[in-house]
């Protein structure tokens, strides 16, 4: 279960940052789905490094190749094998890390757990793995859009804060078509500019900064999610905490609900079963109720900084580590398509499970 | 998978609020564990309703009976069946709800998903189910304390806020032995009194209030958790979001980390592999690093209030609903043993998986 | 996964031969199924000991009680908890076995695997567990009969051999309504009498005898089963090998096919997609093809005999063991409803999975 | 679960006969295992087509490439991705099959289940998939040989019958080192010659023939297997029925036990816990008892024959099909490494699960 996500639409992945390739197998995709390969590649391009001045300059082509499960452009119901070559491997860049434990990275825990680690670029712990998720998520979106009951599902994520710069507007007041109009993926030009300026400053300092992504799923059919241990919100949370830098998750009124009264927080019904307010975030008892599902994901600042840090090596010697070359000052903009992808995977899985 | 939690130490449960009994099966418990049945019952008593003036006055005996898997006081490695009779069933209390959808409850989604629902006390969606979790969690704690590598694990949860009353002290400054000295389970007498006063006031208003539980796990062995889709934090989050009223989860620096720089957030190593700070919350790359694991769980106000609310029934008629009898003004104090129980289940499961 | 069967319609069980009760939880039963409780009890009665002179004289009431998941006679989609009290516990009968390893029983392997065992009546390894399966199987049959696509599925098993006495007729020539007309459950009066005579003789010798059960499932929808590792025949085989005494399984032409040529064995198509012959046993590529599914299950003679046998105890001392009291000279007739139950579980699970 | 095998050491696969590649992901392989890549390739070579005059003449290079999970020759504990290119794709060979349902093949059931099929060479239903299993099995063997408790496990399979030619000797009298000395993989020269002659004759007739494979696992640690639904024999059976042509499975005394008495069949203990006889086949109560595990697998004759057969197409038209080119007169010799591989996967999985 450790490298597999989902119960019916199951993604199993492999791959290290600097191995030959990364890839995965999607098991449980319905047959007869017409795949738009350009759309899949577009999603991958949204995630890839090097796409703007405020992300890492590491460049990866990230071209996905499909090996099975598709015949004459349609899915056949058999497993979809796919692969992304690692074209930008420069193991030498990382050889200085071979015995050093980078602070707030997984080096130490991998070494202790496995007694061995592929130290090149973080190996399996690298965020490179998320490219696999985006491939699967892009397919999941297409499946959702071709299954009658979920055709008009719309999943939109965006950068809602960078450091202390928040997009205060509620999502209802935003135009999601503007998300891709700026490099920080914030659908408000003024706030976006401030965010970009902050990241640029942070970058020059050789430092990094955290932020949040908000995600909204509209037109979700009623009935997705299972009541007890497989609640819709629980599976969404689990999905989001699979992303390396995620430190928090809240949905609906989230942490704010803790200082509210029941009489304030309850969502009263309209006669048609919709609710007047939606502090519940579209989920009751673990099951979607047809209202918008929305949640917020907290990202810590990336651990790799271009400043000298004192650390230790495998032998417990104190050493000084200074990042060099490429770094990612803020992971949040690139996380937007990842959050959308995982959301699509969760929703599709429940849709297929509950059929 | 819907009514089962865990991968190796697996809990499967059944039961409705007003059925004959609730119960469960624990599959995967190691053999040879000496069970302290009084300790299990004590944990159940911490969770049960009616234990103080600030919780629901509904009284349940909540006596657990074990049916299998134990021989001469020790676990045998075969499944442990257990059962808790529902002694306090008063279906008549609930008959007025038979066709009414209570606001912000699961009535509506269950009805839509299943086309039928046991409306008595919320049926399966009732928090009564958590009694099963506490039984399993109490056993998990005992297993942890009898397995060499995890003998001194200490899992402590407490009420860290009620409404806007926060316990501001960091957990390191608290004396966990004081948690059980007051009815709100806050290990600070002054704050506890304020919380109790607030809940009492809310209760008189026929209203409810939210809050947060903080949980700290000390002496967790290094290496628990699996890197990609089964990260320790992801499984903890999934567990917590199984609790009905939970709206948010954060660990380590959590949402605060989003406004921090990498140079501030990174935890630098000491020569022995411990870290000087612990903003990471004891987990790196999904794997425990030996530092304290701590997290915070957000609870919304309970939806059942003693005030008139407008709502609808099965037929879409507008009706007015007014709770009567017993209600729970703040679920947070009773959630403390539930959070601990789920934490024990998650940690034990990873310990057994990783062996 | 060890005490759970099925992927969607999941049965999890607990219970020892001489504990307080045995029971289980069915997770994944569709909602809205009207349950016929008498029919469930009838199936249990077919399985129970003491029902005729050729089975064990141990008497068990085997009354099943349902604890959850059912509301006003219908399933609700929530887990169905059920329980069967052990009313006939006589631990003293078994105290002489406390340290003795009975030959060809699970005593030795349980002791070695777990370091402890509930020696009373074999504990968890007792065939008593199969009562749980029959409850779940009886429900599965009812679900199958209420789901449109599988309404007319007919699952019939019968005793096809006892010792060297074989029912040579092909199943197509049998009248399944006669299975319950004799105590050996062979739908041919002449052969049945011979089987009963043989078992009676064997019984007087204090010995036991093996045999086979044949099972036929008619009107199975096309498309049940999954191609690679979850083939219909693989899951049927796995189910049957869950029964303690089973030593072999074959479907369609089975072992006979090994000496056939392809030109003899191939099933040629009729224009409507049915096949002229059905040596394939209704399954191609792991998927049902709409023809009858039939298979044969081999049962060894029960290990408990009323003759003196030399064996060892926990300490490796040679001791002589002589069964006393009640024994089951041939398990095959009572296995008939068990085989049917497991078949129903497998077919329903695939039906729900494939939807 | 459909394209995944195993619970802890999990193999997930993809690939069609005539796609770009087949491959898989092994999740759960322990870290620190030194891999012998030549040994893996050797096992693949034992399975590959075209290796002798009595198998199909289709030639495939079957070179496996590893993409992840291995660092400096050792496993790292992360998933092992592997891939085998399909170098011998000749889709034109199969274009005549595009709408025809081959008798006793999976064409019909795939078409009905999925509404689409990759008709080239059987697509996913092709035995080509078993190459993936052999790669994983070869790794499983190496893991077994490097884990202390199972270092000296020896898994040996051989052809025990072809058509009506049986190797009557018990396995104890055979020299397994002779299995690879003849092309039919029968460790008895005289019988082997007869088998080869039979297959050659069958081949000239354009026909095929069935047979059996016997497998023996020696030095299996006591305690592998789980009591109820995950019995060692159940999992072995399930594994074997994953092979397309398998129609029967028996272990220990198998079907012969059905005509035996308990007094004949029971295995009496020696003082050291071994048994005087081993009709149980090394398993009691679903758990290995330390004696040899042995079982027999029945293979039907391959469905593809070089003779004219009447069949139908997608539209229900009667058509005549005549195989041309390459065919495999007897799949049994090539199945020998497949049976061994699956056995290794099952044993290792239980070993890791039970730790």
pLDDT at D197: 97
pLDDT of residue D92: 58
For residue C108, give the H/E element and its range.
helix C107-114
- State the Cα–Cα distance between residues D192 and A91, nearest whole angstrom: 53
Instruction: Give the gap in angstroms from C-alpha B177 to the nearest C-alpha of chain A.
Output: 25
Is residue D94 pLDDT above 70, yes or no? no
pLDDT under 50 in chain A at which residues?
none
Residue B9: pLDDT over 90: yes
pLDDT at D95 exceeding the cut of 60: no
What is the per-residue pLDDT across C208-231, written as a single tens digit (0 to 9) for each?
999 999 999 999 999 999 999 999
Distance between CA atoms of residues A303 and B267, nearest Å: 9
Taking an 8 Å cut-off on Cβ atoms, the answer to whether C269 and D354 are in contact is no
Quick check: C118 and B76 CB within 8 A?
Answer: yes
Asked if D23 contacts D13 with a C-beta cutoff of 8 angstroms, the reply is: yes
Nearest Cα to A163, choosing from A190, A204, A194? A194
CB contact under 8 A, A108 and B289: yes
Q: Has residue B58 got a pLDDT over 70?
A: no
Instruction: Select from D213, D228, D235, D312 the residue whose CB has the most chain C CBs within 10 Å, as the one to mutate to test that interface.
Output: D228
* pLDDT of amino acid A97: 59
CB distance from A203 to chain B under 8 Å?
no
- Inter-chain contact B81–C15, Cβ cutoff 8 Å? yes
Query: Has residue B57 got a pLDDT over 90?
Result: no
- Cβ contacts of B24 on chain C, cutoff 8 Å: 25
Answer whether B248's CB lies under 8 Å from A250's CB: yes
| DSSP secondary structure letter of residue D33 | P
Looking at residue D159, what is its pLDDT? 98
Per-chain mean pLDDT for chain D: 94
- The candidate with the shortest Cα–Cα distance to A259, out of B254, B208, B170, is B208
Highest mean pLDDT among A225-234, B52-61, B82-91: A225-234
The pair of three-digit structure tokens given for residue B68, joined into one six-digit string: 């299998």
Contact D25 A14 (CB under 8 A): yes
User: B96 is written with which tokens?
Assistant: 């007025």
Using one digit for the tens of pLDDT, what is the confidence trace for D179-233? 999 999 999 999 999 999 999 999 999 999 999 999 999 999 999 999 999 999 9
Question: Which residues, in sequence order, are bridge partners of residue A240?
Answer: none
C268: alpha, beta or left? (left if phi > 0; alpha if psi -120 to 50): beta
Q: Which residues 250-269 in chain D show a CB within 8 A of chain C? A: 250-255, 257-269
Q: Which residue has the higher pLDDT, C92 or A184?
A: A184
C-alpha count within 13 angstroms, C-beta hemisphere, residue C228: 28
Q: Give Cβ neighbours of residue C255 (< 8 Å, ≥ 6 apart).
A: D212, D247, D248, D250, D255, D298
Q: What's the pLDDT at D32? A: 97
- Condensed to tens digits (0 to 9), the pLDDT of residues B162-179 reads 999 999 999 999 999 999
**How far is Cα B181 from Cα B319, in angstroms, rounded to an integer?**
43
Tens-place pLDDT, residues A77-132:
999 999 999 986 665 555 555 789 999 999 999 999 999 999 888 899 999 999 99
D-chain residues near C266 (CB < 8 A): 103-104, 303, 305, 309
Most confident range, picked from A93-97, B36-40, D57-61: B36-40
- Nearest in space to C296 (alpha carbons), one of C154, C170, C116: C170
Spatial separation of the C-alpha atoms in residues D226 and C7, rounded to whole Å: 18
Q: How many CB atoms lie within 10 A of CB C189?
A: 11
Contacts of D244 in chain C (CB under 8 A): 285
- Asked if residue B13 lies in contact with residue C79, where contact means CB atoms within 8 angstroms, the answer is yes
D161: CB partners within 8 A, 6+ apart: C258, C259, D167, D211, D212
User: In this structure, what token pair is assigned to residue B56?
Assistant: 């629901």
Contacts of C296 (CB under 8 A, 6+ apart): C160, C212, C213, C214, C215, C248, C249, C250, C251, C254
Residue C121 token pair: 């009546």
Do residue C81 and residue B23 have CB atoms under 8 angstroms apart?
yes
Stretch C21-35: mean pLDDT, rounded? Answer: 98
Show residues of chain B in contact with A229, CB under 8 Å.
1-5, 238, 242
Distance from CA of C46 to the nearest CA of B (A): 25
**Cβ density class B142-156: b for 16+ within 10 Å, e for less:** bbbbebeebeebebb
Please report which residue ranges of B147-293 form alpha helices under DSSP H: 189-204, 232-240, 262-265
Residue A222, Cβ neighbours under 10 Å: how many?
18
CB contact under 8 A, A284 and B104: yes
Phi first, then psi: give them for residue C146, nearest 5 degrees.
-110, -5
3-state helix, strand, coil in chain A (%, to 5): 35, 25, 45
Confidence at residue B93, expressed as pLDDT on a 0 to 100 scale: 55
Residue A56, min C-alpha distance to chain D (Å): 24
User: In this predicted structure, what is the pLDDT of residue A323?
Assistant: 76
Does residue A99 sit at the B interface (CB-CB below 8 Å)? no
pLDDT for A243: 98
- Average pLDDT for C164-175: 97
User: How many whole angstroms separate alpha carbon B188 and alpha carbon B182?
Assistant: 9
Q: Could you tell me where the DSSP H helices lie in chain D?
A: 37-47, 91-94, 107-114, 130-146, 189-204, 232-240, 262-265, 332-354
The domains located in chain B, with CATH, are 4-353 (3.60.150.10)
Looking at beta carbons, which residues of chain A come within 8 Å of D79? 3, 12-15, 124
Measure D264 CA to nearest chain A CA, in Å. 45
Give the pLDDT confidence score for residue B49 in this predicted structure: 81
Distance from CA of C4 to the nearest CA of B (A): 9
pLDDT higher than 80, residue D326: no
Tens-digit pLDDT profile for residues C113-141: 999 999 888 899 999 999 999 999 999 99
Q: What is the ipTM of this complex?
A: 0.96
Position D91 confidence tier, pLDDT thresholds 50, 70, 90: low
Report CB contact under 8 Å: B78, D227. Answer: yes
The H-or-E segment that residue C80 falls in is strand C80-85
Partner residues linked to A353 by β-bridges? none
Token pair, residue B137, equals 């969690």
Average the pLDDT over each of A315-329, B25-39, B123-137, D82-96 and give the range with the smallest value: D82-96
Q: Looking at the predicted structure, is the pLDDT value of residue D90 above 90?
A: no
CB-CB neighbors (< 8 A) of B9 in chain C: none
Distance CA D110, CA D117 (A): 6
Whole-number Cα distances in Å, C282 to B74, C212, C243, C292, D117 = 48, 20, 23, 5, 20
For residues D135 and D85, give the distance between their C-alpha atoms in angstroms, rounded to a whole number.
13
Is the minimum CB–CB distance between D78 and chain B shorter than 8 Å? yes
Find out whether C304 and C323 touch, Cβ atoms under 8 Å. yes
Distance from CA of B113 to the nearest CA of C (A): 9
Work out the angle at residue B312's Cα, subtended by the Cα atoms of residues B309 and B313, and round it to the nearest 5 degrees: 125
Picking from C246, C225, C77, the residue whose alpha carbon sits closest to that of residue C157 is: C246
Q: Tell me how far apart the alpha carbons of residues A140 and A137 are, in angstroms, rounded to a whole number.
A: 5
Whether the Cβ atoms of residue D189 and residue D159 lie closer than 8 Å to each other: no
Query: Is residue D58 very low, low, confident or very high in pLDDT (cuts 50, 70, 90)?
Result: low
Rounded to whole angstroms, how far apart are CA atoms B348 and B9? Answer: 7
Average of per-residue pLDDT across C81-108: 81
Chain C residues whose CB is inside 8 A of the B97 CB are none
Does C117 contact B at CB distance below 8 Å? yes
Compute how many other C-beta atoms are within 10 angstroms of the C-beta atom of residue C282: 26
Band (pLDDT 50/70/90 cuts) for residue D57 is low
Please say if the pLDDT value at position C21 is more than 60: yes
B249/A contact by beta carbon, under 8 A = yes
Q: How confident is the model at residue D59 (pLDDT cuts 50, 70, 90)?
A: low
Counting DSSP H helices and E strands in chain D, the numbers are 8, 17
- Kindly give the interhelix angle for B232-240 and A232-240, rounded to the nearest 10 degrees: 160
Nearest to B355 among D78, D227, D355 (CB): D355
Please say whether the beta carbons of A195 and A172 come within 8 A.
no
Kind plus residue range of the DSSP H or E element containing D157: strand D154-162
Q: How do residues A49-71 score in pLDDT, each as one tens digit? A: 878 887 776 666 799 999 999 99
The answer to whether B274 and B284 have CB atoms below 8 angstroms apart is: no
Indicate the Cα dihedral angle C197, C202, C203, C205, nearest 10°. Answer: 130
Neighboring chains of A (3 or more beta-carbon pairs < 8 A): B, C, D
Which residues sit opposite D27 in a β-bridge?
D10
Q: Which neighbouring-strand residues pair with C284? A: C287
When the pLDDT of each residue in chain C is averaged and rounded to a whole number, the result is: 94
Q: Tell whether C355 lies on the interface with A, counting CB pairs under 8 A.
A: yes
Q: A128-144: per-residue pLDDT in tens?
A: 999 999 999 999 999 99
Query: Which residue shows structure tokens 């290290």?
Result: A16
Give the tens place of pLDDT for each residue, B292-339: 999 999 999 999 999 999 999 988 899 999 877 778 999 999 999 999
pLDDT bucket at C93, cuts 50 / 70 / 90: low
Which residues in chain A are closer than 8 Å to C355, comparing Cβ atoms? 355
Output the CA torsion C237→C239→C244→C245 (10° steps). Answer: -40
């Amino acid at each position: 279960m450790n490298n597999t996500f989902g119960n019916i639409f199951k993604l199993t992945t492999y791959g290290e940052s600097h191995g030959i390739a990364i890839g995965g197998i999607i098991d449980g995709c319905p047959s007869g789905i017409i795949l738009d390969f350009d759309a899949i590649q577009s999603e991958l391009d949204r995630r890839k490094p090097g796409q703007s001045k405020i992300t890492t300059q590491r460049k990866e082509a990230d071209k996905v190749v499909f090996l099975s499960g598709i015949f004459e452009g349609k899915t056949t119901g058999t497993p979809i094998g796919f692969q992304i070559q690692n074209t930008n491997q420069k193991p030498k860049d990382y050889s200085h890390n071979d015995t050093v434990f980078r602070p707030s990275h997984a080096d130490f825990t991998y070494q202790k757990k496995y007694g061995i680690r592929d130290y090149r670029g973080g190996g399996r712990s690298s965020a490179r793995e998320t490219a696999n998720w985006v491939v699967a998520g892009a397919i999941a979106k297409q499946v959702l859009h071709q299954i009658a009951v979920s055709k008009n599902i719309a999943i939109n994520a965006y950068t809602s804060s960078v450091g202390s710069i928040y997009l205060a507007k509620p999502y209802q007041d935003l135009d999601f078509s503007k998300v891709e109009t700026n490099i920080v993926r914030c659908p408000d030009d003024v706030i976006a500019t401030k965010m970009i300026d902050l990241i640029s400053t942070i970058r020059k300092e050789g430092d990094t900064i955290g932020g949040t992504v908000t995600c909204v799923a509209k037109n979700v059919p009623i009935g997705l999610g299972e009541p007890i241990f497989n609640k819709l919100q629980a599976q969404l949370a689990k999905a989001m905490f699979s992303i390396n830098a995620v430190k928090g998750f809240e949905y609906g009124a989230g942490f704010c609900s803790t200082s509210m009264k029941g009489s304030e927080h309850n969502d009263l019904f309209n006669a048609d079963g919709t609710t007047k307010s939606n502090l519940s975030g579209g989920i009751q008892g673990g099951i979607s109720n047809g209202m918008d599902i929305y949640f917020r994901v907290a990202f810590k600042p990336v651990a790799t900084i271009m400043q000298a840090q004192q650390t230790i090596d495998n032998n417990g010697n104190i050493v000084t580590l200074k990042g060099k070359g490429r770094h990612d000052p803020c992971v949040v903009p690139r996380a937007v398509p990842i959050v959308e992808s995982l959301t699509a995977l969760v929703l599709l899985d429940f849709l297929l499970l509950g059929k």
